[in-house]
Structure 1
Amino acid sequence: MVREKAHVNVVIIGHVDSGKSTTTGHLVYKCGGVDQRKLEKFEKAAAQMGKSSFKFAWLLDKLRAERERGITIDISLLKFNTQKYSMTIIDAPGHRDFIKNMITGTSQADVALLVVSAAKGEYEAGVSRSGQTREHALLAYTLGVKQIMVCVNKMDLTEPPYSQKRYDEVVRGVKVFLKKIGYDTNAVPFVPISGWTGENMITPTQKMPWYQGWKVRLREGAETGKTLLEVLDSIKPPPPHIKKTNQILHILAV
């Protein structure tokens, strides 16, 4: 008898334009949660609107206003399986005008994946006073999401591309505010990726030879890996008695 995989709800958080929807859509596609025909449909529709780079994001951003403005407004859900888990990905809006929707999604999550753009000026915008990177992390912690992972995204857009210096700069900055919030940064994996090209999402990167992988220290022992998928499989599901209900997620998915 095949043993049923444990279920985990993962909320994707971060500043607007950090690449959350593109990363999520691309990841789910690579993991088999979306078929090629569906992706081709969105690829064609996005191209017709002159937004070809949004093909992965449109797997989640289904409202007309979201597609026209190029931002996520409401929370969206996609399900897929990793080697260890059955996952529901909750893509939360990054724009401050839709913070209530972000809170709704985060309140249902077991784990948060914070997406931070490494592109020039975008990291700085996210951690500025009007940015949402810090606020999203703080809200996640306040809402009881004590397990967080960090994707340093858009590594293909650093100067030069896939810059170790830029990656290290972003990681240092994020660690500072995560620690202030209350997270144990020794238990937080950081992984450099490109949500658009797929670099280091499923298979180890060939374009960042300086990257030796992520390592976290947990009560259960050390965990190591290189890719985003390995980060997801390193999640420690909450005990059944504190696991959050899927009721709202089921309603939203209908």
Structure 2
Amino acid sequence: HLIYKCGGIDKRTIEKFEKEAQEMGKGSFKYAWVLDKLKAERERGITIDIALWKFETSKYYVTIIDAPGHRDFIKNMITGTSQADCAVLIVAAGTGEFEAGISKNGQTREHALLAFTLGVKQLIVGVNKMDSTEPPYSESRFEEIKKEVSSYIKKIGYNPAAVAFVPISGWHGDNMLEPSTKMPWFKGWNVERKEGKAEGKCLIEALDAILPPARPTDKALRLPLQDVYKIGGIGTVPVGRVETGVLKPGTIVVFAPANITTEVKSVEMHHEALQEAVPGDNVGFNVKNVSVKELRRGYVAGDSKNNPPRGAADFTAQV
């Protein structure tokens, strides 16, 4: 919904998706459908791979890494979540739906824990499907969910006072971009952090209240691969997020732990060529004389001439 309203997708595309969705009987998945680009996903009506879409707010360019919500795709969820500056945890307010998500083995719990464990320290909670509560747009249901989720995320390690809770309907657009008239009881969200307070009414304002993370351009290049593609007419294109340092065309990169060295021919983000990619950028880059089979998800690219990445002898883990 946000992507559509903020101009990430043109109207024609949405209409095409709507028509396809109706034909397959998944009408109510309208906006999720936009992000479900793989055919396999479409037929199952769920979000599998990590779709990268962008939209603009008054303050930020937002790239949505649409992390999937179904258990069998948790490894993709891990790849996506580990690239995020902030997590938006969407919990469904419908009777029974919320309870299923927060139950001992539910998705909501697993996703919140994953986000925290993977280092995503900023969190927003969207209480979705407020139109399907009993009665619709119920204040007591929102408060019940807020209380329950607060207590759970606190156990994980988040500070609930720093988390915006926003009652929304992604389908109807309530409290997504502008305050909803259907929830006059909602006076707005507010957060307190050591960097200062913030408040607002809708989800987009909560995104604008995210604190921009430090972008360590001065450190050595580290770019963990999220995937590797073979693109006709171009060649091998590894994809991932620059964590530290800068990636430029012409850089001689080395991929650890396989110790493969090659030159970067070009760097792209959202189909636009970049002269340099900095921390936080999700990019694809074309490399010379390396086949797709030689590279794998999880390899780390670095600059061969400046503190290249190496395999660790040991590491400390939290199990």
TM-score (norm 2): 0.69
Higher relative contact order (CA 8 A, sep 6+): 1
Unaligned runs of 5+ in 2: 225-238, 241-281, 286-319
Comparing 163-172 with 60-69, greater Cα deviation is found at 60-69
Confirm whether residue 241 of structure 1 aligns to residue 274 of structure 2.
no
Q: List structure 1 runs of 4+ shifted beyond 6 angstroms.
A: none
Is contact 1:108–1:245 with CA below 8 Å preserved after alignment? no
Per the alignment, residue 145 of structure 1 pairs with 120
Report how far residue 169 of structure 1 moved: 0.5
Question: Secondary structure at the residue paired with 2:127?
Answer: strand
Q: Equivalent of 1:60, from 35, 58, 62?
A: 35
Question: Secondary structure at the residue paired with 1:140?
Answer: helix
Amino acid at match of 2:128: N
Amino acid at match of 1:125: A
Per the alignment, residue 284 of structure 2 pairs with 251
Per the alignment, residue 176 of structure 1 pairs with 151
**Alpha-carbon separation, structure 2, partners of 1:234 and 1:245:** 27
The C-alpha deviation readout for 1:13-53, integer Å capped at 9, x for no partner, is xxxxxxxxxxxxx1110111111111111111111112222
TM-score (norm 1): 0.86
Confirm whether residue 125 of structure 1 aligns to residue 100 of structure 2.
yes
Report how far residue 219 of structure 1 moved: 1.2
Question: Secondary structure at the residue paired with 2:284?
Answer: helix
Question: Secondary structure at the residue paired with 1:56?
Answer: helix
Q: Equivalent of 2:134, from 155, 159, 179?
A: 159
Confirm whether residue 80 of structure 1 aligns to residue 83 of structure 2.
no
Report how far residue 245 of structure 1 moved: 5.8
Is contact 2:30–2:171 with CA below 8 Å preserved after alignment? no
Bigger-Rg structure (1/2) = 2
**Alpha-carbon separation, structure 2, partners of 1:107 and 1:65:** 24
The C-alpha deviation readout for 1:66-91, integer Å capped at 9, x for no partner, is 11111111111111111000111011
**Alpha-carbon separation, structure 2, partners of 1:172 and 1:219:** 22
Is contact 1:189–1:214 with CA below 8 Å preserved after alignment? yes
The CA RMSD over aligned residues, in Å, is: 1.8
Is contact 1:118–1:153 with CA below 8 Å preserved after alignment? yes
Confirm whether residue 115 of structure 1 aligns to residue 148 of structure 2.
no
Question: Secondary structure at the residue paired with 1:114?
Answer: strand
Q: Equivalent of 1:222, from 197, 206, 212?
A: 197
**Alpha-carbon separation, structure 2, partners of 1:245 and 1:230:** 30
Question: Secondary structure at the residue paired with 2:283?
Answer: helix
Per the alignment, residue 93 of structure 1 pairs with 68
Amino acid at match of 2:90: V
Query: Identity of counterpart residues, as a percentage?
Result: 64
Amino acid at match of 1:250: V
Report how far residue 210 of structure 1 moved: 0.5
**Alpha-carbon separation, structure 2, partners of 1:27 and 1:101:** 22
The C-alpha deviation readout for 1:179-204, integer Å capped at 9, x for no partner, is 00111111000000001110110111
Amino acid at match of 1:103: I
Higher strand share: 2
**Alpha-carbon separation, structure 2, partners of 1:129 and 1:220:** 34
Amino acid at match of 2:130: M
Amino acid at match of 1:251: G
**Alpha-carbon separation, structure 2, partners of 1:107 and 1:149:** 16
Change in CA separation of 1:245 and 1:203 when aligned onto 2, cut-off 3 Å: farther
Per the alignment, residue 134 of structure 1 pairs with 109
The C-alpha deviation readout for 1:134-172, integer Å capped at 9, x for no partner, is 111111111111111100000000000000010000000
**Alpha-carbon separation, structure 2, partners of 1:55 and 1:182:** 34
Question: Secondary structure at the residue paired with 2:114?
Answer: helix
Comparing 54-63 with 158-167, greater Cα deviation is found at 54-63
